[in-house]
Each structure stands twice: as C-alpha cells, then as structure tokens.
Chains A and B, each alone.
Chain A
Amino acid sequence: MSHDMAADVAVSMPDPLPNDRPSNQITNGVERNEDVNEPKPQIPRPKRPNFAQIHAKPLPLDVYPLPAFIPHNPLSLVRIAIALISQSFWPPSSQTVIHTGYFSKETQSVHVTDAQSIRALWEQGFFGKGSLSRSEPRWLDQEKRKRGLVASLTSEEATRLRREERRQFKLERARKEREAIEQQLREEGKPYPAIQDEEVSVESDLDKSQDSQLQASDERTEGVSPIPTSDSCVVADDNLRRELEEGKDISTQIAEEICQPDIQNQEHLQLTPEEAFFLAHATGALQVYRNNSVVPSSYLLRLFCTYSTFPFSEKAEAYMDTIYRLTELHGRNSIDFSETGAMAPDNPFILRYVVYLHFRSLGWVVRPGVKFAVDYLLYNRGPVFAHAEFAVIIIPSYSHQYWTETSERKAEVDKRQNRGWWWLHRINRVQTQVQKTLVLVYVEVPPPLDEEHRMFHKLNVGDVLQSYKVREFVVRRWTPNRNRD
C-alpha cells in the first residue's frame, strides 16, 4: 500500500512553474535598476508538495495504532475490541515490505535499484542518496524537464535559479555603488578614473572575487552529477539492473512503465554502510545481498568494518571472501574460525554506526555531513522540513583502563587523541557560518573484543554495539562582548 502511494506521488508532482522563469528573472533584474534597496517583488514560489503527507512515516515500517477511544461514544470501545481481537488472531507485521540492496565494494555502499524501494526508503526516513542526484533521487525528473516533459522543479535547478538571481542582485548593487561614487566625483568636480570606462568594472573587486567563486561553485555543482556516470559506475549499475530484472515481477514493470513513458531511469539509490546496517540490523526492513544470497547481520558488520578503512587490507578482504564461500558451502554455524583477524575496537565503521544508531533511536534523521566538515547532520523530521540544527563530529575516547595499562598503548592512544585546537576551530567556524551547532560526540572505545567474539559465527552484534558508550558535548563560540549584559 505504501508503495502505491509513493508511486502516485512521484507521478502527480505538480509543476506550477512556467518553463521560461529564468529569462523572466533576468529581465526583471535589469528593469529593477533604479532601486536595489527596495524589497524585491515577490516571485511566486512553486507550491510545495505536501511533505507532511509524503513523509508521514519516520521509518520504513508500518504501525497499527488502536482506534481512538471516544468517551461519549461507547461504540468506539467495540472498535478497539475488534481491532485487538482481529490483530491477535491474524497479527499483521510492521515490516510490510522488506527491501533488497546489493553491497558494492567499489563504491563502498549498498545499492538499491528497485524503483519502489528507492521511493520508500527516501520518503520513509530519508535513507540514502540518488547516485546521480545531489540527495533525493531526482535524476529522472531532471531528465524529463530537460526534454520538456512535465515534472516538477528539482532542487538542483532551484539552487541554480537562486544563484543567478543573487548574482544579478549583486551586479545591481555594485552598479548603484559605482553610480553614487560617480555622482560624488561629479559634485566635487573631479575627473572619473580611467577604469570607469570599461564596462566590466561594474563589479567591485570584492564582488568580482565572490562572483567568480560563485560561478566556480556552480560549475562544481553541475559537475557533481556527471561524475558518477564514469564507466565503472555505469558497469556496476548495469550489473545491478540485470540482477534486478531477473527478479522483477510484472507488476513493478508495469508500474515503471507508467512512471517512465520513454526514459529509462539510470539512477539507483546508494545507502551508506551505516544506513544499510541500521535498516538491516535494527529495523529489519532491508536485506543486503552479496552475489545471490542474503548475508546475516554479523557478516555484514564484519564486511562493513573491513571496507571502512582505505586502502582495504587485502588479507581481510580475502578472509571475508573465504568466510562467505564457506558459509555458502557448509551452512552458517558449523565452521570454527580461530584464525579470524581481530576487529579493531575503534574501527571507523563501528564508531560511526554507534553514533548513527544512537541519534536515529532518539528520532533524529541522520544524514552524512561531509560537506560541512562533520560526520553527521541531525535533522528534525527530515531535510525537506527544516535545516539541520546540529552537526556531529565523532571523537573516539580511550578512557577505559585497558588503553593506559602499558606505556606503548598509552603513547599510541595519546597520539590518536591528539587533536589541535586549530582543527576544532576550523570545524566550528564552518558551523557558525552555516548556522548549525557543533556537537562533539565522544564514543568510548572498549578494549578489544575477547576471544569468543573473534570467532565469526559467534559474533554477537548486540554485545559489540552495547560495549560502546556515547556522550555528547555541545560546542559554541563565546564572545565576551556579546555576553556582558
């Protein structure tokens, strides 16, 4: 049911915006020469889709609340009773749909290729990122717009428009400033400086540099989408597509045909290892495939840990392959691997996942924050509703006595914990610039897992996760002059 809804929404996204908007914008800008300081005439913004309805579910799971009890309506009690009884005889599952994903070593992510799963995972909890989009998988819509077919304005386009608007505004402002100076010079009876003749000097130096920055960044933004279409990714994508097509049933094919009359969607959803592990291990709404079989959580944990450091350790890689083949051959619990390489307790994947799960379990929508120099961004409800308020940086903490028992260990730990203030200030400066609050999340690293955990088949994911402890500190700049009274 959720899928039908998702598909509907994707098809019926309104497009209230005329195509010729950019050109309008520019002519507007030229006509508004006289008064830059006046409030800009309100450009009719496209009506937003009903996000509250689209993203009603915070996780890709269904819930079955009891009907409301209305005191003055005794019949409501009957409804509750019916719901209770029917659900106890035929209990529905909260995991209505189990999505499938494929681990890709090359991109270190889990690919989801089914169109409905992509929509569902994005809409219900904002998981993943479109492989050809900035964030929400919108490649198809963009493509349709390019070819003049109906689709709504994508956020990438909105950004481009806004930048153009802003640029025009700045050119205007610079021109006004220059005119004021010219007027002043005329009043003082001085000749205009020579550079005034050039048409280019409209912009002041400051503006010029900022504009060139802006253009550069625009180019970069546009450059973002072509990058993943490099050959390797296309190949991977095709492979996935083939895999998908084998298992695809007719109904989805029909749904896709309705969705995409002529363009084939080249995009898939990529989940970060943390997102994939959360969906698989915590919610059970995702099954991750390696080749043709579903891998269990304990294997997945090891797999993600192995690929979380770069370059990958070849030995660990080979080991993961061996385990995989052996489990295929012998079934899961019958082999004893005493030779397993120990998982480092401060493996980046585990640290990241512990923090990810911590904030997810409190209800935050956690998204990667590499563009803001941090590990995660915390959204309230989701990125379509509001900007992220908090930016999270993960710092491993080695306060367990194991780490200071010997002097070599202590030296090693001191080295790992040595972070300069310049590092912190850099990050914090970025956060103040984008009006976010920096949160330092210290993850207490336990001593290495004991022997029994090293054995692969006994790896207790819950125990591993619960041996870590998180603690948050909020960091802000403090300015004496603004806190005096």
Chain B
Amino acid sequence: MADYDENLSHLRGPSAADIDLDDETQDFRFLSNLPTHDVKDLTLPKRGDKDFESHATSLQLSTLEASRQAMHNALSWPRIHTQKTHLLATYHPESNMAYVKKAKTQHFQTLGHFKAGKNWLLPEEALFMIERGSMDCRWPVQVEEGRTDIIVYDGQEENERGVPMSLQGAYAAFIGFEGGVGGKLTLEMYTVYAGLKRAGFIVFRAGDWDDERLPIQYNEQDARDGDKVKSGNWAFGFVAEIWRRLSRKETEVPADRLKCGPLLGSGLYRSYADIYRLLQVIPTRDRNAPPELILPPDCSNPFRITFDVYKTAGAGKFKKSTRGPPDYRIAVVNARETPVPTMAQLNDLLATTPYDPPNPNGNLYQKLRHGSRNVILAVVDNGIPSYIRVGDTPFTDEKLYKRLGRGPPRGKKSGRGRGRGRGG
C-alpha cells in the first residue's frame, strides 16, 4: 500500500480537543438551569449543542426563543454590592498601583500582596477587579500641605472621598504607565491575564518584571545522574571497552569516508543499529550540557516569561505566599510586532524554564510531544490570544532504530478506520 497521503478526509471535523467552545455561539438554555437563589451549590453548567440551519418548524423556533430568554435571564440577574462586601481601593499614582485597606473578598487569596498594613494590587490585578465589578477604585484625594493626618468627615474615611475611577480611566491609568520598558503592562499582557483569570486559572507575574529575563534553570537531576554513572560503573565501562575493541565495532566514521562518502564502509555490519549509529553525523545540541543563553541580555527581547499560571484544582490549598512551581509558564507576544521566534530566542526563553522531563514510562510519541522543557506562547493579535505550547524536544534521546520491530505505539487514537481522519 502506498502512503495515505491523499486520504485526508474532507469530511471529518476537527477532533473534540481542538474545538474551543468560546469561539462559537452556544445554545444558552443551560443557563436557565442555574440555581438563582442558592449560590452555594453553583456548578459550571454543561453547554448545549449548536443548531446550524433554520427550517420552518415551530420546535426549532421555540428552542431558539428559549435559548435567548435563558441568556437574557442570566444577564439580567441583578448584580449588587452589599455594604458588607463593598471593596474600596485607592489609586497610588507613584507606583501606578492600587491599595485596599481591608481585604473583604476571597479574591485576595489569589491577588495582591500585603505590605505596610495595606493590600497592594498590581496594575493588572486592580484593572481586572475593576473590570469585573468587584472593586470600587477611587482617585486619590489631593492632600493639602501641612495636613497629613487622616481626617474623618461624618464617619467617612479619606479614601472614600476620592472620585470614583471609571473603567476607561482605569485602562488609561494602569496600562503602560509603570516604570520600565514599554510601561511593562501592555494591553496584550492584560488581555491574556484577564482571559486566564476568567477561565479559572490563578495567574501571577513571573519574577518582578524588573530584570531583563528570568535566571537560567539548570537541571540538577541530570547532573546527579551523570555523576552516578561516571563514579559507579568504571568496571563496567572497562569491560565494555574491551568488548568494543574485540568486536571491532565502528563507532565513528573515518575522516576519508566522511569526506567523499559513503559513510558506510563496504564491510559487513552485524545490525541495523550499528549502521544507524554511523549515520549520525549531523550535530545537535548536546542535551546533557547545561542550558546557556545565546543572545545578550536585552530589555527589548520580546520573548520573556510573563506569567506563572496555576491550575485551580488545588485552589483550596493555594497560598499566594508559598506558591510553589507554576503549572504553566506563559510568554505574551504581540502578533503584529513580533515575528516567529528565532532559534536563539527560543533557546533563551526555554533556558529560563525548569527542566520538565516527560514521564519515562510514557509511549514514544507522548515523550516526544512533551519535550524536556516547555513554555506557552500567548500570541495576541488585537486582543485575541492564541496559545501555542513550545516544547524543547530531544529527538536524539529517543532513538527509534532501537525500537525497530516493536511497531509504532498505539495511543487512544487507535482503532481509526483505514486512512480515515488523517492522511500521510
């Protein structure tokens, strides 16, 4: 049989994992199942299916109407600030941050940092809270000279007398006005931050954004393993060396054959593994060498890890003071200003991510897809983020020729019909 190259089906939709439900208009009837009073057992509803074509049945029309009504009901749910949870913040122009004196909501488990009796919110955190309608931010009151004490008028604190900050005002104030390159928080970064927060992730700045890039992360485990082999097995190595000499196995192509070819001599070879070993003449990056940076430190390098992202699965135990290693690292780039990264840029970016080897018991494809280090690029084009996971994959670590005869690994995708679904 030939390649199934042309068998690419024009009929199959993308696999379920590739459909981003946010991209589509949904059947909103699920919203009417939301409990309207009991906030305690709020769970995320399941979404309905999408109907494509209109046909003149009343059934379809009533379904559509019900869906619209459900959406309307969900949106018209009154959102109120009770006096108890009313959250008042004050803008701090010097640091371009906002502070809250009393953290009244649970948001502060995953937001802000506590310093000098106040909860300080970074620009993106403050903006997110304002946009969400959970926080009332006020412009600071101009304090006249000589009066530094807090004056209480009619039981009101000073910051309550400030003018409320509008959403437009908040965007104008918080984005691009930090000290640092490009005002640090760009609109692209905020888009990604807000998007991930709304999707239920816990997001923090990676590092403090003051340095040009994060420090290199070395893989300690690798170094330790290397030592073990060196120190423990010299006797084994000695025997292996003797055997190698006895069997006169070629491990390197002699220079003259390399020069004019063929790489393989005209002699006999005992196994295909020997042959493949000789064919490996193209150098790759030494995977055991510690990662190193290629580019000079430069603030204008657009590829820097921007956010540390944590899954919500363990949110109950999440402590912002002891966050631990993040689940994902996200670098935000502007799709219109930044081209696809060069090798040097990717290398430097991945050098600042931790060594994250795949599960050694996984199958070949899983291991290769996982890579030894990884980062997620959030490519934002005018407010629409697209996430791409880039893994540094050592193909040389998985020598396929050692597995010949074993057959390709079967994932859960197996059982596909012959050639249907994907070609090639």
- Beta-carbon nearest neighbor of B398 in chain A: A362
Contact A434 B8 (CB under 8 A): yes
Contact A460 B200 (CB under 8 A): no
Chain B proximity of A268: nearest CB distance (Å): 16
Contact B55 A181 (CB under 8 A): yes
Per-position contact with A for B17-42: 1 when CB-CB < 8 Å, else 0?
11011100000000000000000000
- Within 56-95 of A, Cβ neighbours of B (below 8 Å) are at 57-59, 61, 63-66, 87, 91-95
- A224: chain B residues at CB < 8 Å are 6
Contact B284 A159 (CB under 8 A): no
- B312: chain A residues at CB < 8 Å are 484-485
Given A63-B270, A210-B10, A283-B264, decide whether A481 and B21 contact each other with a Cβ distance below 8 A: yes
Query: Quick check: which of A100-108, A183-191, A320-328, A337-345 contacts chain B, the rest being far away?
Result: A183-191
The answer to the question of A465 belonging to the interface, with a C-beta cut-off of 8 Å to chain B, is yes
- B421: chain A residues at CB < 8 Å are 434-435
Contact A64 B269 (CB under 8 A): yes
The answer to the question of A369 belonging to the interface, with a C-beta cut-off of 8 Å to chain B, is yes
One of B11, B261, B343 near A210 (C-beta < 8 A):
B11
Identify the 10 closest CB pairs spanning chains A and B, nearest first: A462-B258, A284-B262, A363-B401, A363-B400, A135-B2, A397-B343, A281-B261, A442-B343, A297-B261, A361-B279
The answer to the question of A121 belonging to the interface, with a C-beta cut-off of 8 Å to chain B, is no
CB-defined A-B contacts under 8 Å, sample of 19: A57-B272, A134-B5, A158-B1, A159-B4, A159-B7, A280-B261, A358-B282, A363-B402, A364-B400, A371-B424, A372-B8, A380-B408, A390-B368, A420-B339, A421-B338, A442-B346, A461-B261, A462-B281, A484-B313
- Per DSSP, chain A at the interface is mixed
CA distance A470 to B394 in the complex (A): 10
The answer to the question of B260 belonging to the interface, with a C-beta cut-off of 8 Å to chain A, is yes
Contact A481 B4 (CB under 8 A): no
The answer to the question of A433 belonging to the interface, with a C-beta cut-off of 8 Å to chain B, is yes
CA distance A369 to B424 in the complex (A): 8
CA distance A92 to B266 in the complex (A): 9
Which residues on B are within 8 Å of A, measured CB to CB?
A: 1-11, 14-15, 17-18, 20-22, 52-53, 55-59, 195-196, 199-201, 253, 255, 257-264, 266-272, 274-276, 279-285, 294, 311-313, 328, 335, 338-340, 342-344, 346-347, 364-365, 368-369, 371, 376, 379, 381, 386-396, 398-404, 407-409, 413, 418-424
The answer to the question of A144 belonging to the interface, with a C-beta cut-off of 8 Å to chain B, is no
Given A134-B2, A280-B261, A466-B283, decide whether A397 and B419 contact each other with a Cβ distance below 8 A: no
- A439: chain B residues at CB < 8 Å are 393, 395
The answer to the question of A302 belonging to the interface, with a C-beta cut-off of 8 Å to chain B, is no
- Beta-carbon nearest neighbor of A484 in chain B: B200
Given A362-B280, A442-B343, decide whether A385 and B407 contact each other with a Cβ distance below 8 A: yes
Per-position contact with B for A455-466: 1 when CB-CB < 8 Å, else 0?
000001111011
Contact A134 B282 (CB under 8 A): no
- A463: chain B residues at CB < 8 Å are 258-259
CA distance A59 to B262 in the complex (A): 14
The answer to the question of A315 belonging to the interface, with a C-beta cut-off of 8 Å to chain B, is no
Contact B262 A281 (CB under 8 A): yes
Chain B proximity of A432: nearest CB distance (Å): 5
Which residue of B255, B270, B423 has the most chain A CB atoms within 10 A of its CB atom?
Answer: B423
Chain B proximity of A205: nearest CB distance (Å): 7
- Beta-carbon nearest neighbor of B340 in chain A: A419
Contact A363 B399 (CB under 8 A): yes
Contact A283 B379 (CB under 8 A): no
CA distance A297 to B281 in the complex (A): 16
Per-position contact with B for A331-351: 1 when CB-CB < 8 Å, else 0?
000000000000000000000
Given A66-B270, A386-B408, A480-B195, decide whether A358 and B284 contact each other with a Cβ distance below 8 A: yes
The answer to the question of A133 belonging to the interface, with a C-beta cut-off of 8 Å to chain B, is yes
- Within 277-333 of A, Cβ neighbours of B (below 8 Å) are at 280-284, 296-298
Given A221-B6, A465-B282, decide whether A474 and B369 contact each other with a Cβ distance below 8 A: yes
Contact A190 B56 (CB under 8 A): yes
Contact A162 B420 (CB under 8 A): yes
Chain B proximity of A452: nearest CB distance (Å): 12
- A435: chain B residues at CB < 8 Å are 15, 413, 421-422
- Within 382-433 of A, Cβ neighbours of B (below 8 Å) are at 383-391, 395, 397-399, 417-425, 428, 432-433
The answer to the question of A118 belonging to the interface, with a C-beta cut-off of 8 Å to chain B, is no
Contact A423 B340 (CB under 8 A): yes
- B17: chain A residues at CB < 8 Å are 479, 482
- B369: chain A residues at CB < 8 Å are 437, 474, 476
- Beta-carbon nearest neighbor of B410 in chain A: A386
- Beta-carbon nearest neighbor of A441 in chain B: B395
Given A424-B340, A442-B343, A462-B258, decide whether A188 and B57 contact each other with a Cβ distance below 8 A: yes
Chain B proximity of A383: nearest CB distance (Å): 4
Contact B279 A357 (CB under 8 A): yes
- A297: chain B residues at CB < 8 Å are 260-262
Contact B2 A155 (CB under 8 A): yes
